[in-house]
Structure 1
Amino acid sequence: MSAAATRPEDDAGLDGKVAIIAGGGAAGDGIGNGRAAAILLARAGSRVLVVDRDGVLAERTVAMIGAEGGTAAAHQADLTDPAQARDMVTAALDRFGRLDFLDNNVGIGSLGSVVDETPESWRHVMQVNVEPMFL
Protein backbone atom coordinates (compact mmCIF):
# COMPACT_ATOMS: atom_id res chain seq x y z
CA MET A 1 0.00 0.00 0.00
CA SER A 2 1.46 3.38 -0.96
CA ALA A 3 1.71 6.36 1.35
CA ALA A 4 -0.61 8.23 -1.01
CA ALA A 5 -3.15 5.43 -0.74
CA THR A 6 -3.01 5.50 3.05
CA ARG A 7 -2.74 9.28 3.44
CA PRO A 8 -5.69 10.63 5.40
CA GLU A 9 -7.86 13.21 3.66
CA ASP A 10 -7.13 15.64 6.48
CA ASP A 11 -3.38 15.54 7.05
CA ALA A 12 -3.68 17.99 9.99
CA GLY A 13 -1.17 20.26 8.26
CA LEU A 14 1.56 17.61 8.44
CA ASP A 15 2.10 17.17 4.71
CA GLY A 16 5.58 18.41 3.80
CA LYS A 17 6.69 18.84 7.42
CA VAL A 18 9.89 17.33 8.80
CA ALA A 19 9.82 15.41 12.06
CA ILE A 20 12.35 13.73 14.29
CA ILE A 21 10.91 10.72 16.08
CA ALA A 22 13.21 9.87 18.98
CA GLY A 23 12.70 6.30 20.13
CA GLY A 24 11.31 5.37 16.72
CA GLY A 25 12.43 1.76 16.76
CA ALA A 26 10.54 -1.19 18.20
CA ALA A 27 11.54 -4.77 18.84
CA GLY A 28 11.06 -7.00 15.81
CA ASP A 29 8.11 -6.16 13.63
CA GLY A 30 6.14 -5.02 16.66
CA ILE A 31 4.69 -1.58 17.03
CA GLY A 32 5.57 0.83 19.80
CA ASN A 33 4.59 4.44 20.31
CA GLY A 34 7.63 5.77 18.46
CA ARG A 35 7.29 3.45 15.47
CA ALA A 36 3.55 4.15 15.29
CA ALA A 37 4.15 7.91 15.37
CA ALA A 38 6.77 7.69 12.62
CA ILE A 39 4.53 5.61 10.36
CA LEU A 40 1.47 7.80 10.91
CA LEU A 41 3.41 11.02 10.30
CA ALA A 42 4.83 9.59 7.08
CA ARG A 43 1.32 8.57 6.00
CA ALA A 44 0.26 12.19 6.54
CA GLY A 45 3.06 13.31 4.21
CA SER A 46 5.78 14.25 6.68
CA ARG A 47 9.42 13.36 6.10
CA VAL A 48 10.71 11.56 9.16
CA LEU A 49 14.09 11.05 10.79
CA VAL A 50 13.66 7.88 12.84
CA VAL A 51 16.11 7.91 15.76
CA ASP A 52 16.85 5.02 18.07
CA ARG A 53 19.80 3.91 20.17
CA ASP A 54 19.62 0.68 18.15
CA GLY A 55 20.20 1.59 14.51
CA VAL A 56 18.79 -1.74 13.27
CA LEU A 57 15.44 -0.97 14.92
CA ALA A 58 15.39 2.50 13.37
CA GLU A 59 16.14 0.95 9.96
CA ARG A 60 13.21 -1.46 10.35
CA THR A 61 10.85 1.45 10.95
CA VAL A 62 12.28 3.26 7.91
CA ALA A 63 11.74 0.11 5.82
CA MET A 64 8.10 -0.04 6.92
CA ILE A 65 7.62 3.60 5.96
CA GLY A 66 9.38 3.06 2.64
CA ALA A 67 7.18 0.04 1.87
CA GLU A 68 4.20 2.39 2.04
CA GLY A 69 5.89 4.98 -0.17
CA GLY A 70 6.78 7.39 2.62
CA THR A 71 10.04 9.27 3.12
CA ALA A 72 12.21 8.50 6.13
CA ALA A 73 15.82 8.08 7.19
CA ALA A 74 17.34 6.25 10.15
CA HIS A 75 19.74 7.72 12.66
CA GLN A 76 21.37 5.93 15.58
CA ALA A 77 21.88 7.97 18.75
CA ASP A 78 22.03 7.67 22.52
CA LEU A 79 20.14 10.80 23.49
CA THR A 80 21.56 10.86 26.99
CA ASP A 81 24.74 12.13 25.29
CA PRO A 82 24.46 15.87 24.46
CA ALA A 83 26.76 15.55 21.43
CA GLN A 84 24.63 12.78 19.96
CA ALA A 85 21.47 14.81 20.60
CA ARG A 86 22.99 17.72 18.65
CA ASP A 87 24.10 15.35 15.88
CA MET A 88 20.51 14.09 15.60
CA VAL A 89 19.24 17.60 14.85
CA THR A 90 22.10 18.22 12.42
CA ALA A 91 21.26 14.95 10.64
CA ALA A 92 17.65 16.05 10.15
CA LEU A 93 18.69 19.46 8.84
CA ASP A 94 21.32 17.97 6.52
CA ARG A 95 18.96 15.33 5.16
CA PHE A 96 15.71 17.29 4.87
CA GLY A 97 16.79 20.95 4.96
CA ARG A 98 14.55 21.92 7.85
CA LEU A 99 13.00 20.68 11.07
CA ASP A 100 9.45 21.34 12.17
CA PHE A 101 9.09 19.24 15.29
CA LEU A 102 10.44 16.54 17.59
CA ASP A 103 8.36 13.71 19.02
CA ASN A 104 10.19 12.20 22.01
CA ASN A 105 9.29 8.55 22.58
CA VAL A 106 12.47 7.62 24.40
CA GLY A 107 11.72 5.87 27.64
CA ILE A 108 12.64 3.14 30.05
CA GLY A 109 11.29 1.97 33.37
CA SER A 110 12.72 0.17 36.31
CA LEU A 111 11.74 -3.39 37.06
CA GLY A 112 11.06 -3.01 40.77
CA SER A 113 8.56 -1.19 42.88
CA VAL A 114 9.07 2.50 43.58
CA VAL A 115 9.61 1.47 47.20
CA ASP A 116 12.63 -0.58 46.12
CA GLU A 117 14.01 2.09 43.80
CA THR A 118 17.59 3.17 44.44
CA PRO A 119 18.71 6.75 43.87
CA GLU A 120 21.04 5.51 41.11
CA SER A 121 18.33 3.67 39.18
CA TRP A 122 15.93 6.62 39.60
CA ARG A 123 18.56 8.99 38.19
CA HIS A 124 19.13 6.64 35.24
CA VAL A 125 15.40 6.53 34.42
CA MET A 126 15.22 10.34 34.58
CA GLN A 127 18.40 10.67 32.50
CA VAL A 128 16.86 8.56 29.73
CA ASN A 129 13.21 9.67 29.94
CA VAL A 130 13.45 13.38 30.73
CA GLU A 131 16.93 14.77 30.08
CA PRO A 132 16.94 14.29 26.27
CA MET A 133 14.05 16.78 25.95
CA PHE A 134 16.27 19.38 27.61
CA LEU A 135 19.38 18.60 25.55
Structure 2
Amino acid sequence: MQIAVAVETTDGDAEELDTLTRELGEELLLLDAAESVARPEGGAAPAGAKSGTATTLGALLVTGVFSRAALNTMVSLVSEWRQRAQARRVELTEGDDSLIVEGVSGRDQKALIEAWLQRRSGSDPQP
Protein backbone atom coordinates (compact mmCIF):
# COMPACT_ATOMS: atom_id res chain seq x y z
CA MET A 1 0.00 0.00 0.00
CA GLN A 2 1.23 3.49 -0.78
CA ILE A 3 -0.07 6.50 1.13
CA ALA A 4 0.57 10.04 -0.04
CA VAL A 5 1.07 12.58 2.73
CA ALA A 6 0.70 16.32 2.09
CA VAL A 7 1.68 18.90 4.72
CA GLU A 8 0.44 22.50 4.80
CA THR A 9 1.84 25.21 7.05
CA THR A 10 0.03 28.28 8.28
CA ASP A 11 2.36 30.85 6.73
CA GLY A 12 3.35 29.15 3.47
CA ASP A 13 7.11 29.56 4.08
CA ALA A 14 8.87 27.09 1.71
CA GLU A 15 11.90 26.55 3.96
CA GLU A 16 9.73 25.83 7.00
CA LEU A 17 7.54 23.50 4.94
CA ASP A 18 10.61 21.60 3.74
CA THR A 19 11.93 21.25 7.30
CA LEU A 20 8.57 20.12 8.68
CA THR A 21 8.13 17.59 5.87
CA ARG A 22 11.58 16.11 6.55
CA GLU A 23 10.79 15.87 10.28
CA LEU A 24 7.49 14.10 9.63
CA GLY A 25 9.23 11.74 7.21
CA GLU A 26 11.79 10.81 9.86
CA GLU A 27 9.01 10.04 12.36
CA LEU A 28 7.06 7.98 9.82
CA LEU A 29 10.17 5.86 9.18
CA LEU A 30 10.00 4.76 12.83
CA LEU A 31 6.75 2.90 12.12
CA ASP A 32 7.30 -0.84 11.83
CA ALA A 33 4.87 -1.12 8.91
CA ALA A 34 6.53 1.64 6.85
CA GLU A 35 8.95 0.06 4.38
CA SER A 36 9.94 3.40 2.88
CA VAL A 37 9.21 7.11 3.09
CA ALA A 38 10.20 9.13 0.03
CA ARG A 39 9.82 12.64 -1.28
CA PRO A 40 8.11 12.50 -4.69
CA GLU A 41 9.80 14.16 -7.62
CA GLY A 42 8.19 17.32 -8.86
CA GLY A 43 9.74 17.59 -12.31
CA ALA A 44 12.82 19.37 -13.55
CA ALA A 45 14.90 21.25 -11.01
CA PRO A 46 15.61 24.95 -11.47
CA ALA A 47 18.81 25.91 -13.30
CA GLY A 48 21.84 25.65 -11.02
CA ALA A 49 20.32 23.04 -8.72
CA LYS A 50 22.51 20.14 -7.59
CA SER A 51 20.06 17.51 -8.86
CA GLY A 52 18.29 17.17 -12.19
CA THR A 53 14.91 16.77 -10.50
CA ALA A 54 13.12 18.69 -7.78
CA THR A 55 11.07 17.25 -4.95
CA THR A 56 7.54 18.38 -4.24
CA LEU A 57 7.52 20.52 -1.11
CA GLY A 58 5.27 19.26 1.63
CA ALA A 59 4.80 15.82 0.07
CA LEU A 60 5.81 12.31 1.13
CA LEU A 61 5.03 8.82 -0.17
CA VAL A 62 4.84 6.15 2.53
CA THR A 63 5.00 2.56 1.32
CA GLY A 64 4.35 -0.51 3.43
CA VAL A 65 2.00 -3.26 4.46
CA PHE A 66 -0.48 -1.58 6.78
CA SER A 67 -2.92 -3.50 8.92
CA ARG A 68 -5.79 -1.57 10.48
CA ALA A 69 -3.73 -1.26 13.69
CA ALA A 70 -0.70 0.01 11.76
CA LEU A 71 -2.84 2.57 9.91
CA ASN A 72 -4.33 3.69 13.21
CA THR A 73 -0.82 4.13 14.63
CA MET A 74 0.21 6.10 11.54
CA VAL A 75 -2.81 8.41 11.76
CA SER A 76 -2.18 8.95 15.49
CA LEU A 77 1.46 9.79 14.81
CA VAL A 78 0.50 12.26 12.07
CA SER A 79 -2.19 13.86 14.24
CA GLU A 80 0.16 14.29 17.22
CA TRP A 81 2.96 15.54 14.98
CA ARG A 82 0.63 18.10 13.35
CA GLN A 83 -0.20 19.55 16.76
CA ARG A 84 3.44 19.63 17.93
CA ALA A 85 4.71 21.13 14.67
CA GLN A 86 1.79 23.55 14.46
CA ALA A 87 1.18 22.58 10.84
CA ARG A 88 -2.16 23.80 9.50
CA ARG A 89 -3.18 20.43 8.11
CA VAL A 90 -1.92 17.08 6.90
CA GLU A 91 -3.71 15.07 4.23
CA LEU A 92 -3.30 11.30 3.91
CA THR A 93 -4.38 9.80 0.58
CA GLU A 94 -4.59 6.19 -0.49
CA GLY A 95 -6.00 5.70 -3.97
CA ASP A 96 -8.95 8.07 -4.39
CA ASP A 97 -9.69 8.34 -0.66
CA SER A 98 -8.27 11.08 1.57
CA LEU A 99 -8.21 11.86 5.26
CA ILE A 100 -7.55 15.46 6.28
CA VAL A 101 -6.10 15.93 9.75
CA GLU A 102 -6.57 19.53 10.86
CA GLY A 103 -7.79 21.59 13.76
CA VAL A 104 -11.38 20.36 13.96
CA SER A 105 -12.90 19.26 17.26
CA GLY A 106 -11.50 16.07 18.75
CA ARG A 107 -14.82 14.25 18.38
CA ASP A 108 -15.23 15.24 14.71
CA GLN A 109 -11.62 14.35 13.90
CA LYS A 110 -12.01 10.96 15.61
CA ALA A 111 -15.12 10.22 13.52
CA LEU A 112 -13.33 11.18 10.29
CA ILE A 113 -10.33 9.00 11.20
CA GLU A 114 -12.53 6.03 12.11
CA ALA A 115 -14.43 6.27 8.81
CA TRP A 116 -11.18 6.43 6.81
CA LEU A 117 -9.71 3.46 8.69
CA GLN A 118 -12.90 1.49 8.06
CA ARG A 119 -12.68 2.14 4.33
CA ARG A 120 -9.03 1.04 4.32
CA SER A 121 -9.72 -2.23 6.13
CA GLY A 122 -13.20 -2.95 4.80
CA SER A 123 -14.34 -3.98 8.28
CA ASP A 124 -17.45 -3.21 10.24
CA PRO A 125 -17.35 -0.24 12.61
CA GLN A 126 -16.17 -0.92 16.13
CA PRO A 127 -18.34 0.20 19.07
- TM-score strictly above 0.5: no
Tell me which protein shows more helix as a share of its residues: 1
Bigger relative contact order, structure 1 or 2 (CA pairs below 8 A, ≥6 apart): 2
Task: Give the TM-score of the pair, scaled to structure 1.
Answer: 0.30
Tell me which protein shows more strand as a share of its residues: 2
Task: Give the TM-score of the pair, scaled to structure 2.
Answer: 0.31
